[in-house]
């Protein structure tokens, strides 16, 4: 190194094993990393899941609609000719008619209305038998015969003309325990009524609770048969029901 003086060049040693210094990050990438947070990531995931659910639901709705359309076509197809009035074939689908069930009462009851027949010579009312409402009670020659012992509410109503001087009717009972005359249970009696005009009519209602035995027979009896009005069946009725 002697003799070079100040003009000798400087000597630099380069180490090939040394690591390179890190490069500075790009401005755009650094800002992107700073701007994305865990909340945004979770929001993106929720939106993606919601979109998947909507797509699955749409598929199910489409399949259900297609199934219903096929079922309607298969059901209406064979009945087309029959609906038009054509002959039905063995393969046609015939809808089943629903049978209406009639509910039967749990306890005995009866309700009778008067027909066109007037009382007999003894004044015993005769009731219509075309469609009587009688359950677990027997109707026999104008009387209701008890089949089950118990307490019954007995009622009756008769319509009469006010052109007469009197109207009197009763609900009577025949019992196997009494060998004498029928027993009077209920009575309706009216005297000396003054009608407002000719052809006027009135009505008398009776009702009461009685303990009746098996085979007891109840009937309605009236004294003046000619005063009875039979224009409307609903004006005159007789019945009972078990309590």
Res 80: pLDDT: 47
pLDDT band, very low/low/confident/very high, at 134 (cuts 50, 70, 90): very high
pLDDT at 112 over 90: yes
Instruction: Output the CA–CA distances (angstroms, integers) from residue 224 to 20, 69, 125, 214, in the order listed.
Output: 137, 74, 12, 31
Of 34-48, 86-100, 135-149, 155-169, which one has max mean pLDDT?
135-149
pLDDT band, very low/low/confident/very high, at 205 (cuts 50, 70, 90): very high
Question: From the CA atom positions of the chain, what is the Rg in Å?
Answer: 51
Mean pLDDT of 218-224: 92
pLDDT in tens, 136-187: 999 998 999 999 999 999 999 999 888 777 889 999 999 988 878 899 999 9
| Contact between residue 79 and residue 93 where contact means Cβ atoms under 8 Å apart | yes
pLDDT in tens, 49-58: 888 888 888 8
Beta bridge partner(s), residue 218: 144, 173
pLDDT at 83 over 80: no
| Contact between residue 243 and residue 151 where contact means Cβ atoms under 8 Å apart | yes
Secondary structure string (H, E, C) spanning the chain: CCCCHHHCCCCCCCCCCCCCCCCCCCHHHHHHHHHCCHHHHHHHHHHHHHHHHHHHHHHHHHHHHHHHHHHHHHHHCCCHHHHCCCCCCCCCCCCCCCCCCCCCCCCCEEEEEECCCCCCCCCECCECCCCCEEECEEEECCEEEECCCEEEEEEEEEEEECCCCEEEEEEEEECCCCCCCCEEEEEEEEECCCCCCCCCEEEEEEEEEEEECCCCEEEEEECCHHHECCCCHHHCEEEEEEC
CA 155 to chain centre: 31
Determine the Cα–Cα distance for residues 87 and 39; give it in Å rounded to an integer. 71
Of the candidate ranges 96-110, 119-133, 135-149, 156-170, the one whose mean pLDDT is the lowest: 96-110
Could you tell me the pTM of the whole model?
A: 0.57
Res 169: pLDDT: 94
> What whole-number percentage of the chain has pLDDT above 70?
70
pLDDT in tens, 63-72: 887 877 776 6
pLDDT at 189 over 70: yes
- Choose between 30 and 188: higher pLDDT: 188
> What whole-number percentage of the chain has pLDDT above 90?
32
pLDDT band, very low/low/confident/very high, at 124 (cuts 50, 70, 90): very high
Res 162: pLDDT: 80
């Amino acid at each position: 190194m002697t003799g070079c003086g100040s003009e000798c060049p400087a000597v630099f040693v380069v180490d090939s094993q040394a690591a390179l210094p890190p490069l500075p990050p790009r401005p755009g990438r650094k800002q992107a990393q700073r701007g994305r947070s865990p909340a945004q990531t979770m929001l993106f995931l929720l939106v993606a899941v919601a979109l998947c659910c909507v797509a699955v639901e749409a598929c199910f709705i489409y399949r259900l609609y297609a199934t219903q359309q096929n079922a309607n076509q298969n059901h209406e197809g064979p009945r087309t000719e029959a609906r038009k009035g054509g002959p039905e074939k063995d393969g046609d689908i015939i809808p089943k008619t629903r049978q209406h069930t009639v509910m039967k009462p749990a306890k005995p009851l009866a309700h009778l209305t008067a027909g066109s027949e007037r009382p007999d010579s003894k004044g015993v009312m005769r009731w219509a038998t075309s469609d009587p409402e009688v359950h677990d009670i027997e109707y026999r020659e104008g009387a209701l015969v008890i089949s089950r012992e118990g307490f019954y509410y007995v009622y009756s109503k008769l319509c009469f003309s006010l052109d007469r001087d009197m109207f009197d009717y009763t609900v009577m009972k025949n019992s196997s325990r009494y060998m004498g005359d029928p027993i009077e249970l209920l009575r309706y009696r009216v005297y000396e009524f003054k009608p407002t005009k000719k052809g006027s009519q009135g009505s008398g209602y009776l009702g009461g609770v009685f303990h009746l035995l098996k085979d007891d027979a109840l009937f309605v009896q009236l004294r003046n048969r000619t005063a009875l009005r039979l224009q409307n069946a609903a004006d005159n009725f007789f019945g009972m029901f078990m309590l």
